[in-house]
Amino acid sequence: MQVPAPFEYERATSVDQAIGLLERLGSSARLVAGGHSLLPMMKLRLANFDYLIDINPLHAELGYIRPVGDEVRIGALTRHRELLESDELAAAFPIFRDAERVIADPVVRNRGTLGGSLCQADPSEDLSAVCTTLDARCVIRGPGGAERVVTMEEFHVGPYETAVGDDEMLTEIRLPLRPGGGSAYEKVERRAGDWAVVSAGAAVWLAADGTITDARVGLAAVGPNTTGIPEVSAALRGREPAEDLYEQAGAIAARSCDPATDQRGSADYKRHLADELTRRTLRTAVARARS
Amino acid sequence: MTTVEEPKTTTFDDNDQKPVGFGRMLRKEDPRLLRGRGRFTDDVQLPGMLHLAILRSPFAHARVVSVDTSAAEASPGVKAVVTGETLKGLGLAWMPTLSNDVQAVLATDKVRFQGQEVAFVVAEDRYAARDALELIDVEYEVLDPVIDVRQALAPDAPLIRDDLEGKTNNHCFDWETGDADETEAVFARADVVVKQDIVYPRVHPAPMETCGAVADFDAVEGRLRLWSTTQAPHAHRTLYAIVAGLPEHKIQVIAPDIGGGFGNKVPIYPGYVCAIVGSIVTGKPVKWMEDRSENLISTGFARDYIMRGEIAATRDGKILAIRTNVLADHGAFNGTAAPVKYPAGFFGVFTGSYDIEAAYCKMTAVYTNKAPGGVAYACSFRITEAVYLVERIVDCLAAELQMDPAELRLKNFIQPDQFPYTTKTGWVYDSGNYEPTMRQAMEIAGYAELRREQEEKRARGELMGIGISFFTEAVGAGPRKNMDILGLGMADGCELRVHPTGKAVVRLSVKTQGQGHETTFAQIVAEEIGIPPADIEVVHGDTDQTPFGLGTYGSRSTPVSGAAAALVARKVRDKAQLIASAMLEVTVADLEWVKGSFQVKGDPAKAVTIQQIAMRAHGAGDLPDGVEGGLEAQICYNPSNLTYPHGAYICVVDIDPGTAQVKVRRFIAVDDCGTRINPMIIEGQVHGGLTDGVGMALMEMISFDEDGNCLGASLMDYLIPTSLEVPDWETGYTVTPSPHHPIGAKGVGESATVGSPPAIVNAVVDALQPYGVRHADMPLTPSRVWDAMRGRATPPI
Ligand SMILES: Cc1cc2nc3c(=O)[nH]c(=O)nc-3n(C[C@H](O)[C@H](O)[C@H](O)COP(=O)(O)OP(=O)(O)OC[C@H]3O[C@@H](n4cnc5c(N)ncnc54)[C@H](O)[C@@H]3O)c2cc1C
């Protein structure tokens, strides 16, 4: 058994109380949600914190999937399993269920959360790629109830680094609902439950005449953060969905990413996958948008 | 020869008719294990027990300049901090390995691999011990490491083993087998010669339970009790006696339940010795349990052979000769677990299942700055490497000859009338009948149909591959005339005692790590003396409770201890017959054994059961002249030869041409392990081994960066397969009993691990035939398969 260094532990009683503790304890404190990223790092002593503030008691408050106007709002403590099982979410954004089916294993999915996934800011995090693809907004709350809303591009500021300050907390993700949408996710992994070698998400929105009004592609594990590729969106907008268009998008994706060679695969191979998976997910997303 | 009709059932329900002997029945040990009532080393809690944590080297190669323990000693809860210097004072800084090398218990001069033991802390709890490690200040002078095995013997390579007198390079040993000249002559006249470089990368057994020990030294009695995760408790006890100078009768080694071994728990690790020292210096029981990373980076690895295979044949596909050259990476200390006269284990069986004219192998083993080991990881002492080599190179030959790989194998098999068959490297295969095994596998697979399907798919650009492997293993080490480990002969003791009420206890020297000994051995005894398995207690793993023997690895339990159990039961039965003759007032010759009782020949009504005989043996009244009371016996079985199980495996894979991901669609395994004791347990062993094979073929490898950092230090980095990577296994069997084993059983623990990787790799290479691929090394991760498709297949090291 790997054992972490000593730390103090406190259970949160409300969002504002948790933020109050963060404010007081500063960078020596960390929130723990599902714990499936934080605790392994602490057990390996790659990360040591003096205080852990457990926000699981806030699940009733921060665990939800809720349509509000032209958005779907998801609470930061919503667990992988809840995202996987929500038919509502799968109907609006099938990319979520695609992704959740290939994230980790049931044990991790039972506890791990959307907020934890995004805040971990691991370049291979699947839900970050999903949220990037869907152009999610992140609601960050600070002392005194102050809230700000940032885009995914603003949220991730580097590998394992986010826009969330030491005394702040991610509370909610907002996903814009637009008509004619379809989305999909694909991941290549060396083994079930492994982190992605590369994964790709695609979302398209079709006009009544079948042309693409908007499209987004998000890639994981090919750069410092999960990457949205504006050039792909530009190339697809206003066009008729077709194989050669997907090929073009794939080529842009391969060109625009910045993978590194590691044990999961060579940079060349990952670049190839960026291309291949972009094409595949666009194909599926379009088929779903049409049906 | 006893064989029984096997009930044709595929359910895993317990048999209502539990066999009194061989047959399918649920495992006796499972209720305990499934209900969480197993007792593993980490479950051992003793009053006043302290906890030990080991400080390990962050560097692959460095001089230890100084170790300052003062801050650690002052840390709360710490009872002792021990360094290499402390051990040096006790004469315990170094210990022998299983291959007559030495290994540092705690580094004194240098560290030689990342993860090597440098110091340890004993504290009140595991947290305090671990925290104090951070306070030990070690000054290292970092040296250039030897990581690239191909450069280990380069003249300018840094010297790793300067601890060995007169050592000037990193050479570990040379070994050869077969006849070089004869082989060269055959190669010279062959129509076809195929060469292939083949790497079997370093892998790790990664048992679910890591290694650990609880040492309890009683200074007053001078007595040491050691609970430890050992596959070989008796061998360990003797070695502790020799190394530590403790009298052997004062040492009790207890291997409680073990959560998987696969060879990882054969060696004596520094951690065990540290736990003993920890208990001696603190006067308290001390527990050491390794964590996952420690297990992966420091304990016995397996494989790591770089092989060049060459095969010579006639144009029409008669294999004439096989030759190989091997570069073996043994890490920093030669910790190979193998009989001492076999530094390359049983690699000599690389001639496979084929009747050939000549063979030769030359091997060079070297030291590198990597973890020591070379354990029998489910490999029957390097047979995994040998089978992989021959089965891969035979496929290369088939490709060269444009011949079907099944047909090529069938054409070259050793024929049934050639057994016992002496190979060109001197191994005497006891029995075999290969063609029916191969044909059965082809039939289950629907081989011809699969080839048709493949042709259609290829025409459509789909990638489907069919891979075959046919293996012969040599297991059950071994005859004491030529097999020993550090001077300890590889014969196994066994004791059987029948209690007055007809229940029995059998005591074994071998030790299960999950193989089901408590069931299999009860069934072996049941078959011989007719007492139901439920009434037979199997005792094992405790040196105070069991006779001497060398333990469980190399598939040796059934071939060696299984034979001992059958023979000791026969000895008891012989005595029972004497008592029965007195009870029935007839001569011994007038009695016949009908399982469970002796009957008067021709008069079945006159009979006594084994239970009645047992009561009589302990009861009142006289026994026949010269017969002592009690019903028990003991034996030490020395096998006259190894046993040679074989099997035919066929794997079907599909590869996604866009992502290069390999999916194992089907896997057919037909095993011949001789007489089958419990078919359910055999299937379990086969299923586990096949899964293991998928892991090695597709994902497992312990790799290092150029500085010698181990890149497989967690299960996130070192992948092992899950149920989602494997198909529903399709198994079959043939039965060719071993002629010299008392019940004809051959051992099956490692067959599937040995036989499956080549079938999977052959299938992948077959699938990639449209890309002109002839070989690709394991692990066949998507990225590596993609490289092969681009014509850029590279060795993994
Ligand atoms: C075996 C295994 C396999 C995995 N495989 C995958 C995979 O295939 N794909 C994948 O995407 N992920 C995978 N994961 C990661 C998994 O999805 C984690 O659950 C997730 O990354 C983190 O979520 P969590 O709730 O557990 O976060 P935690 O570990 O609790 O926290 C992670 C970080 O986020 C911070 N944090 C958490 N919540 C908030 C908040 N609301 N506001 C501010 N900061 C917060 C914490 O302080 C911490 O720094 C795997 C994990 C494991 C253990």
Other C-beta atoms closer than 10 Å to the C-beta of B122 total 28
The CATH number linked to B214 is 3.90.1170.50
pLDDT of residue A219: 96
Q: Above pLDDT 70, what percent of chain A?
A: 100
- The answer as to whether B156 is a domain residue is no
A184 lines ligand 1 (CB under 6 A): no
Best of B661, B783, B786, B792 to disrupt the A interface (most A CBs within 10 Å) is B783
- The answer as to whether B294 is a domain residue is yes
Q: A63 and A168 share a domain?
A: yes
Q: B653 and B674 share a domain?
A: yes
Nearest protein Cα to ligand 1, atom 23: A116
pLDDT over threshold 70, residue B156: yes
A120 lines ligand 1 (CB under 6 A): yes
Nearest protein Cα to ligand 1, atom 7: A103
Nearest protein Cα to ligand 1, atom 21: A117
- The answer as to whether B469 is a domain residue is yes
Cβ–Cβ gap B783/A44 under 8 Å? no
pLDDT of residue B12: 46
Q: B557 and B411 share a domain?
A: no
CA of A115 to the centre of ligand 1 (A): 8
Cβ–Cβ gap A192/B659 under 8 Å? no
A229 lines ligand 1 (CB under 6 A): no
What whole-number distance in Å separates Cα of residue B534 and Cα of residue B134?
52
Determine phi and psi for A105, rounding to 5 degrees.
-140, 170
Domain limit, last residue, from A174, A202, A217: A174
For residue B719, give the nearest of A2, A191, A266 by CB distance: A191
- Of B682, B570, B719, B686, the closest CA to residue B637 belongs to B570
Q: B251 and B223 share a domain?
A: yes
Which residue stretches of A106-226 are H helix? 106-111, 114-120, 126-133, 152-155
Cβ–Cβ gap B131/A190 under 8 Å? no
- The answer as to whether A79 is a domain residue is yes
The CATH number linked to A124 is 3.30.465.10
A197 lines ligand 1 (CB under 6 A): no
Q: B678 and B758 share a domain?
A: yes
User: In this predicted model, what pLDDT tens digit does every residue of B575-616 receive, in sequence order?
Assistant: 999 999 999 999 999 999 999 999 999 999 999 999 999 999
**Contact of A74 with A93, CB cutoff 8 Å:** no
B301-319 b/e (C-beta count within 10 Å ≥ 16 → b): bbbbbbbbbbbbbeeebbb
Q: A146 and A249 share a domain?
A: no
Residues of chain A with C-beta less than 8 angstroms from the C-beta of B782: 188, 190, 197, 265, 269
Task: Tell me which amino acid residue A17 is.
Answer: Q
The CATH number linked to A26 is 3.30.43.10
Question: For chain A, what is the mean pLDDT?
Answer: 96
**Contact of B787 with B793, CB cutoff 8 Å:** yes
Q: A49 and A67 share a domain?
A: no
- The answer as to whether A264 is a domain residue is yes
- The answer as to whether B707 is a domain residue is yes
Q: B78 and B218 share a domain?
A: yes
User: In this predicted model, what pLDDT tens digit does every residue of B511-530 receive, in sequence order?
Assistant: 999 999 999 999 999 999 99
User: In this predicted model, what pLDDT tens digit does every residue of B289-341 receive, in sequence order?
Assistant: 999 999 999 999 999 999 999 999 999 999 999 999 999 999 999 998 889 89
pLDDT over threshold 70, residue B15: no
A104 lines ligand 1 (CB under 6 A): yes
Cβ–Cβ gap B787/A2 under 8 Å? no
Q: A139 and A214 share a domain?
A: no
Determine phi and psi for B142, rounding to 5 degrees.
-70, 135
The CATH number linked to B675 is 3.30.365.10
Cβ–Cβ gap B126/A3 under 8 Å? yes
Q: B495 and B455 share a domain?
A: no
The residue-averaged pLDDT of B401-414 equals 98
A168 lines ligand 1 (CB under 6 A): no
Nearest protein Cα to ligand 1, atom 12: A125
A108 lines ligand 1 (CB under 6 A): yes
For residue B659, give the nearest of A3, A194, A276 by CB distance: A276
- The answer as to whether B774 is a domain residue is yes
Cβ–Cβ gap B782/A265 under 8 Å? yes
- The answer as to whether B609 is a domain residue is yes
For residue B661, give the nearest of A45, A188, A266 by CB distance: A188
Domain limit, last residue, from B574, B609, B637: B637
Q: B752 and B731 share a domain?
A: yes
Side-chain-side CA neighbours of residue B772 (13 Å) = 3
What whole-number distance in Å separates Cα of residue A153 and Cα of residue A168?
18
User: In this predicted model, what pLDDT tens digit does every residue of B540-558 receive, in sequence order?
Assistant: 999 999 999 999 999 999 9
The chain A residue lying nearest B711, using CA atoms, is A263
Angle between helices B563-584 and B610-618 (to 10 degrees): 80
A137-159 b/e (C-beta count within 10 Å ≥ 16 → b): bbbbbbeeeeeeebebeebbeee
Extract the tokens encoding A137: 């907004």
The CATH number linked to A235 is 3.30.390.50
A119 lines ligand 1 (CB under 6 A): yes
Extract the tokens encoding B296: 């992966």
User: In this predicted model, what pLDDT tens digit does every residue of B462-502 receive, in sequence order?
Assistant: 999 999 999 999 999 999 999 998 899 999 999 999 999 99
SS3 readout for B566-600: HHHHHHHHHHHHHHHHHHHCCCHHHEEEECCEEEE
Q: B651 and B771 share a domain?
A: yes
- The answer as to whether A3 is a domain residue is no
Residues of chain A with C-beta less than 8 angstroms from the C-beta of B293: 2, 44
Ligand 1 atom nearest residue A127's Cα:
11
Q: Above pLDDT 70, what percent of chain B?
A: 98
pLDDT over threshold 80, residue B534: yes
ipTM value for the complex: 0.96
Domain limit, last residue, from B581, B616, B637: B637
Per the structure, the count of domains in chain B is 3
Q: B128 and B68 share a domain?
A: yes
pLDDT of residue B621: 86
pLDDT of residue B2: 40
**Contact of A114 with A127, CB cutoff 8 Å:** yes
Q: B438 and B576 share a domain?
A: no
pLDDT over threshold 60, residue B7: no
User: In this predicted model, what pLDDT tens digit does every residue of B255-286 receive, in sequence order?
Assistant: 999 999 999 999 999 999 999 999 999 999 99
pLDDT of residue B259: 97
pLDDT band at B244 (very low <50, low <70, confident <90, very high): confident
Q: Beta B488-489 vs A137-141: how paired, if at all?
A: unpaired
The chain A residue lying nearest B699, using CA atoms, is A190
The residue-averaged pLDDT of B50-56 equals 98
Q: B129 and B221 share a domain?
A: yes
User: In this predicted model, what pLDDT tens digit does every residue of B61-120 receive, in sequence order?
Assistant: 999 999 999 999 999 999 999 999 999 999 999 999 988 899 999 999 999 999 999 999
Distance from the B80 Cα atom to the nearest Cα atom in chain A, whole angstroms: 19
- The answer as to whether A180 is a domain residue is no
- The answer as to whether B601 is a domain residue is yes
The residue-averaged pLDDT of B123-141 equals 98
Rg (CA), chain A: 19
Q: A115 and A95 share a domain?
A: yes
- The answer as to whether B323 is a domain residue is no
A35 lines ligand 1 (CB under 6 A): yes
CA of B711 to the centre of ligand 1 (A): 22
Q: How many CB pairs under 8 A join A and B?
A: 67
Domain limit, last residue, from B606, B637, B668: B637
A126 lines ligand 1 (CB under 6 A): yes
- The answer as to whether A31 is a domain residue is yes
Residues of chain A with C-beta less than 8 angstroms from the C-beta of B660: 269
CA of A75 to the centre of ligand 1 (A): 15
pLDDT over threshold 80, residue B1: no
Distance from the A39 Cα atom to the nearest Cα atom in chain B, whole angstroms: 14
Cβ–Cβ gap A191/B131 under 8 Å? no
**Contact of B561 with B494, CB cutoff 8 Å:** yes
Determine phi and psi for B263, rounding to 5 degrees.
95, -20
Q: A206 and A153 share a domain?
A: no
pLDDT of residue B338: 87
A139 lines ligand 1 (CB under 6 A): no
Q: A215 and A109 share a domain?
A: no
Q: B501 and B463 share a domain?
A: no
CA of A282 to the centre of ligand 1 (A): 27
Q: A164 and A65 share a domain?
A: yes
Best of A37, A122, A124, A190 to disrupt the B interface (most B CBs within 10 Å) is A190
Q: Which domain holds residue A44?
A: 8-58
pLDDT over threshold 70, residue B6: no
pLDDT of residue B545: 98
Q: Above pLDDT 90, what percent of chain B?
A: 94
pLDDT of residue B35: 96
- Of B139, B121, B115, the closest CA to residue B59 belongs to B115
Extract the tokens encoding B384: 């995994």
The residue-averaged pLDDT of B159-177 equals 97
The chain B residue lying nearest A4, using CA atoms, is B127
CA of A6 to the centre of ligand 1 (A): 21
pLDDT of residue A228: 78
pLDDT of residue B17: 67
Distance from the A44 Cα atom to the nearest Cα atom in chain B, whole angstroms: 9
Task: Tell me which amino acid residue B774 is.
Answer: R
A280 lines ligand 1 (CB under 6 A): no
The chain B residue lying nearest A192, using CA atoms, is B724
Per the structure, the count of domains in chain A is 3
What whole-number distance in Å separates Cα of residue B763 and Cα of residue A158?
42
B342-374 b/e (C-beta count within 10 Å ≥ 16 → b): bbbbbbbbbbbbbebbbbbbebbbbbbbbbbbb
Other C-beta atoms closer than 10 Å to the C-beta of B32 total 14
Cβ–Cβ gap A190/B699 under 8 Å? yes
Residue of A56, A80, A117 to test ligand 1 pocket, by largest number of atoms within 8 Å of CB: A117
Q: Which domain holds residue B685?
A: 383-476+643-789
pLDDT of residue B3: 43
pLDDT band at B376 (very low <50, low <70, confident <90, very high): low
